[in-house]
Amino acid sequence: MHQRILETAEAIAARYLDTIASRHVGATATRAQLLSALGGSLPHGSSDPVAVLEQLALHADPGLVASAGPRYFGFVTGGAVPVTVGADWIASAWDQNAALYVSSPAIGVIEDVVAGWLLEILALPRTAGVGFVTGCHMANFTCLAAARHEVLRRAGWNVETQGLQRAPRLRVIAGGEVHVSAVGALRFLGIGSDEVERIPVDGQGRMRADALESALAGGAAPTIVCAQAGNVSTGATDPLDAIVDSARRHGAWVHVDGAFGLWAAAVPELKAQVAGIEKADSWATDAHKWLNVPYDSGLAIVADAAPQRAAMNLAASYLQRGADEERNGMDWVPESSRRSRALALYALVRTLGRDGIADLVRRNCRLARRIADRLSAADGVSILNEVVLNQVLARFEATPGRSADEVTREVIARVQAEGTCWAGGAFWQNKQAMRIAVSNWSTTEADIDRSADAILRCYQQVRAS
């Protein structure tokens, strides 16, 4: 029974992954087509599970996006190193509840082991708390909840029992280019988006440390500073060393949103970009972006584990707990019953090792520079950012009758429809740009060259049209 179903799934998955590099990268079906193929009335009786899987794969196929493939440059999207797909299948088969040690001692230990390895790779304090969450958004939430707990505790207030409504006023300071996810996480925590004080940024989107220092000097309330490693458009990192020093002097907590940029810390020649990062109080990052494990996977890391546990911990008489060293995964995250996300990470670190992970990040940065060079060598194309990491912002010149914004938007639409690669758009300092993020483990120089050729071909067609 199991075997027949799992073999079907294996065949579908292998066929997909074996051909992913030759697919049209974007989806090709319309919503109406997908709805008519996949929808229909509610089934009342049963069907053969093998047929269900085969039909599902057949009908969903034209609506799939080859975002796990080598020429998908949209948002900041990783693929999945093959061993992590295998580990993720095993996670489903074992179907462990990673909430409590007693509900899966193996997963409890694996989370501890992976936490230690990742802290070592990132050169963060080895005693930090690590929560395995769904993504950087929840990692931001977890870390900022710990921050809120601690800065209010120092002001004599227990936010977990006394709430926020009559608490001492909390200041939250972020760069003008703070990611929307950090602002969203703060909203869940009772901090409105208009309450976040925005610090001016430089031309690459980095928070200005001198402006932060003035802001901190101008007020004494319990304060959280939200810094960023890896701007989602430019890849630039805030001057963390100066930010942490300034925050320390004023007793503020420093949280770093490092969804992808944190991984610069794993590469010796990129480390200078995140200098001082280890002195921050908390770090949020993704594993499903640059670490190339399947969705969903993120890490919430807090230097002092106590406020993280104070903010996340739940107690009930039936939640059976053992010895202190036995890890209950739910103590570190805003979830109770949960998936064994650490399994894919365990398999990744075992397979690639520290050097392999550094090499993955390093290779993507080199390929980002390659596509930036290929594009900017062409007439009428400019690169708007300093390509320091894996992010590239390309802009296409105005033509008679069309502004550069319009031309750039048309090129993006053509590239998406053409299907060799996929890149999205973004506004950078009021200019429309094509945003190219190179984050996939399997991307090669040949993929970059093919993609650059396709983008330039689309640009020529827009110019000629």
Ligand X SMILES: *Cc1c(COP(=O)(O)O)cnc(C)c1O
User: How many degrees, rounded to 5, is the angle at CA 422 between CA 418 and CA 428?
Assistant: 120
Binding to ligand X, residues 353-372 (CB under 6 A): none
Q: Which of 25, 137, 29, 16 is nearest to 74 (CA)?
A: 25
> Using H for helix, E for strand and C for coil, what is the string for 106-117?
HHHHHHHHHHHH
Q: Does 172 bind ligand X (CB under 6 A)?
A: no
Q: Exposed, middle or buried, 189 (CB in 10 Å: 0-12/13-18/19+)?
A: buried
Q: How far is the CB of 391 from ligand X (least distance, A)?
A: 10
Among 27, 76, 186, 209, binds ligand X (CB under 6 A): 76
Q: CB–CB of 371/447 below 8 Å?
A: no
d(CA 70, CA 364): 11
Cβ nearer to ligand X, comparing 141 with 346: 141
Q: How far is the CB of 255 from ligand X (least distance, A)?
A: 11
Cβ nearer to ligand X, comparing 255 with 327: 255
d(CA 208, CA 98): 41
Among 232, 293, 344, 448, binds ligand X (CB under 6 A): 232
Among 298, 307, 329, 425, binds ligand X (CB under 6 A): 298
Q: Does 287 bind ligand X (CB under 6 A)?
A: no
Q: How far is the CB of 156 from ligand X (least distance, A)?
A: 32
47 phi/psi in degrees, rounded to 5: -135, 165
Q: How far is the CB of 179 from ligand X (least distance, A)?
A: 4
Q: Does 286 bind ligand X (CB under 6 A)?
A: yes
Per CB under 6 A, which region of 56-64, 65-73, 254-262, 343-351 contacts ligand X?
Answer: 254-262
Cβ nearer to ligand X, comparing 232 with 360: 232
Q: Which residue is nearest to ligand X (CB)?
A: 135
367 dihedral zone (left: phi>0; alpha: psi -120 to 50; beta):
alpha
Q: CB–CB of 284/256 below 8 Å?
A: yes
Cβ nearer to ligand X, comparing 212 with 232: 232
Binding to ligand X, residues 99-138 (CB under 6 A): 135-137
Q: CB–CB of 415/74 below 8 Å?
A: no
Q: Using N-to-C axis directions, what is the helix angle for 82-94 and 342-376, rounded to 10°?
A: 150
Q: How far is the CB of 188 from ligand X (least distance, A)?
A: 13
Q: How far is the CB of 75 from ligand X (least distance, A)?
A: 7
d(CA 205, CA 6): 47
Binding to ligand X, residues 256-285 (CB under 6 A): 257, 259-260
Cβ nearer to ligand X, comparing 174 with 375: 174
Q: How far is the CB of 396 from ligand X (least distance, A)?
A: 24
> What are the structure tokens assigned to 390, written together?
């894996």
418 phi/psi in degrees, rounded to 5: -70, -40
The one-letter amino acid at 283: W
Cβ nearer to ligand X, comparing 287 with 303: 287
Residues that bind ligand X (CB under 6 A): 76, 135-137, 179, 181, 230, 232, 257, 259-260, 286, 298
